[in-house]
Amino acid sequence: MSRFRALAALAVGSALVLTGCAGTSASPEGEAAQGSDGVFPVTVDSALGQAVIEKRPERVATVAWSNHEVPLALGVVPVGMAKATWGDDDGDGVLPWVEDKLTELGAETPVLFDETDGIDFEAVADTQPDVILAAYSGLTQEDYDTLSKIAPVVAYPDAAWGTTLDQMIQLNSKALGLEGEGDALIDQIKTESQDAFDAHPALAEVKPLFAFTDPTDFSTLTYYTAHDPRAGYLHEFGMPEPEQIVTATAETDAFYSEISAENADAFADVGLWITYGPTDGSLVAKLQADPLLSKVPAIAAGHIAVLEESTPLAASANPSPLSVSWGLSKYLDVLTSALG
């Protein structure tokens, strides 16, 4: 596994300590979780296999990044979910927008699964789930097969970490028998997102590149393709794609790609460089001092948006059902400021 793949997985993965009490899928909002369109059995196809859910799940477990936000947004509290180890500002394993939703629902924190070293199969099994949601994840076939011995598993439709926000909501809500409610959630999020982008008109014609920048090694440039929600969401709401993103996205199903810094001229049309790092200006200075990267117009002009590593705002750049309301406008503020 490359250093980027490991760190990127950290940035989209989560982990667990068995803290708090298990949640329950019974919604404090009562009818909100009952749904109107769930006719069981329900079959959900994925790239790794087929999940057949015989009856409405009463105990819902989720693994990987943000899948738990779909049931929570629909009023269903999971019995277990992945612990957040990246972007967690108070060390409790739960991102702030998830904390807000649990409070709103009057629910305790579900069991948190430690995924630092991979899926904790024993912890998942201990929650006795009726279904396991992982529509946005990097599950291997072995992971999927092992989890499927515990309960039906909803995995990604095409490629690891390549599920769009819409697809994650559609697949996970279908498994819950709440497909109609999921569609309504998608519409709500799209409206909120479009309003946020409309309020930041300076971004409309700017071509963004979301890169993973290693401050100790600029020899290889690693960046997210449009298959990754971080880049894909920006393009979905009007920011045009740089030519290199178009090319790389067509050539691979992977959520990221790499290119030698000697070929940095491939980013000649990039108008905004987005990356994680310290916000003290040191990374910007290093990029602009590099003999190769300094030739990229966006870097030369200082159009570099740095999201402070392992903060909630950095985590919200990967859009999820509950993070859009919490952080999208703040995130777009940072991007707009970088153009100033």
Same domain, 173 and 216: no
Distance CA 78, CA 165 (A): 19
- Pair 218, 292: CB distance under 8 Å: yes
Distance CA 37, CA 56 (A): 11
SS3 category, 156 = coil
Same domain, 212 and 332: yes
Number of domains in the chain: 2
Q: What per-residue confidence (pLDDT) applies to 37?
A: 53
Same domain, 231 and 318: yes
Amino acid in the structure at residue 184: A
Tokens of 187: 């519409």
Distance CA 44, CA 23 (A): 24
Domain span at residue 237 reads 201-338
Residue 254 lies in a domain: yes
Same domain, 239 and 319: yes
Residue 195 lies in a domain: no
Same domain, 254 and 214: yes
Same domain, 172 and 29: yes
Same domain, 138 and 9: yes
Q: What per-residue confidence (pLDDT) applies to 38?
A: 63
Residue 188 lies in a domain: no
297 CA to centre of own chain = 29
Residue 212 lies in a domain: yes
Residue 260 lies in a domain: yes
Torsion of the alpha carbons at 119, 122, 128 and 134, rounded to the nearest 10: 10
Residue 190 lies in a domain: no
CATH number, domain at 241? 3.40.50.1980
Same domain, 82 and 205: no
Same domain, 157 and 208: no
Residue 215 lies in a domain: yes
| Domain termination site, one of 148, 180, 212 | 180
Residue 255 lies in a domain: yes
Residue whose C-alpha is closest to residue 231's, from 256, 206, 252: 256
Distances 73 to 16, 33, 77, 181, 215 between C-alpha atoms, Å: 21, 10, 9, 10, 37
Distances 42 to 145, 150, 171, 183 between C-alpha atoms, Å: 19, 17, 11, 17
Helices (H) and strands (E) in the chain, counts: 13, 12
Same domain, 34 and 165: yes
| Element containing residue 198 per DSSP (H, E) | helix 179-198
Same domain, 232 and 332: yes
Q: What per-residue confidence (pLDDT) applies to 213?
A: 87
Q: Chunk the chain into consecutive blocks of 10 residues (it has 340) and report each block's average pLDDT, rounded to whole numbers.
A: 42 34 38 55 98 98 98 98 96 97 98 97 98 98 98 97 98 98 98 98 97 92 96 96 97 96 96 96 96 96 96 97 98 97
Same domain, 108 and 219: no
| Domain termination site, one of 147, 180, 213 | 180
| Domain termination site, one of 120, 149, 180 | 180
